[in-house]
Amino acid sequence: MPHFDDHPAARDHLSVDTEPGSADPQTLRDVAVRVAVSAAAHASARRPQVFATVGHDVRPTAAGEEAVDTKSTPTDPVTVVDTETEVLIREALASLRPGDAILGEEGGGDSGPEGIRWVVDPIDGTVNFLYGIPAYAISVAAQVDGVSVAGAVVDVAGGSVYSAARGHGATLHEADGSVHTLRCTAVTEVSMSLLATGFGYAPERRKRQGELIAALLPRVRDIRRIGSAALDLCMVAAGRVDAHFEHGLSPWDWAAGSLIAEEAGAVVRLPSAESSSADGDVTVAAAPGVAVALDDVLSQVGALDPIPV
């Protein structure tokens, strides 16, 4: 299990003054990293308590079954760990940044995007978290007037911390202390591009998403469905995929990861900060050498049109 209690990313982001009210992107990034790393410590420690592990076979315990509820559809889960982790994040932000607004996947938010607002996904990739597939993340972003200016995404199972501040680049801190500046791939052909995507929870949206994949698959190198949009966007930044697109993401899915991708050179197309998943707007993040051509291909197959539900 990765150790987050003394993670090098949190140590590196201790130095800057976290003056309440400051809108400085580097200050906001420090807060995002520290809050997301401490949330990852909780989620990482809680998973084996809620879900039993036998060898490599990870199944929910009886307690785990009770710890899982559903949201928009029977296939859209929320676990007790999602709820607990968001509470911790809200408490940490209230202490470090009193007065800032918060929008969270589980607890919602009651203000608009004006001013400084923290946008939080306590566990992105909840289905993976449930099944023990090691691709789930904590995502914490700071937006100013609806534009992401700082963000952190923690790959909980991998022990890695992705972060960015607008105008200051994007970084990956590994658990072993190594630090990498993130850059997108140098791909120049859509036909050679590895394209990450994801599917919503509503069956009618999935049907259309499947049709779009059928149209795109012959035109790209291959498709990946990792199961966490926040990690997909970080993988664009890290050059592990060339691009990501998905319809119907919520602001907490893209707020941190899209900035990390953008600061690594990606060209992004985002829903508005006021949008909700039901609007079905598309999110795209692409390596700069294929961004224009990919936009053309997505437009030709109808993938830039929203898929509302």
Closest to ligand IPD by CB, 171 vs 228, is 228
Closest to ligand IPD by CB, 78 vs 290, is 78
Estimate to the nearest angstrom the gap between the alpha carbon of 148 and the chain centroid: 13
CB 121 within 8 A of CB 252: yes
Q: Of Ca ion, ligand IPD, none, which one sits near residue 257, judging by CB under 5 to 8 A according to partner kind?
A: none
Nearest distance in Å: CB 206, ligand IPD: 10
Closest to ligand IPD by CB, 246 vs 262, is 246
Q: Where do contacts with ligand IPD occur on this chain (CB under 6 A)?
A: 105, 121, 124-126, 198-200, 227-229, 246, 249, 253
> Does 121 engage in binding with Ca ion (CB under 5 A)?
yes
Nearest distance in Å: CB 97, Ca ion: 22
Q: How far is CA 177 from CA 15, 134, 236, in A?
A: 16, 20, 22
Q: Of Ca ion, ligand IPD, none, which one sits near residue 171, judging by CB under 5 to 8 A according to partner kind?
A: none
x/- letters, 236..265, toward Ca ion (CB under 5 A): -----------------x------------
CB 244 within 8 A of CB 235: yes
Closest to ligand IPD by CB, 249 vs 268, is 249
Q: Of ligand IPD, Ca ion, none, which one sits near residue 100, judging by CB under 5 to 8 A according to partner kind?
A: none
Q: Of ligand IPD, Ca ion, none, which one sits near residue 275, judging by CB under 5 to 8 A according to partner kind?
A: none
Nearest distance in Å: CB 27, ligand IPD: 27
Closest to ligand IPD by CB, 27 vs 79, is 79
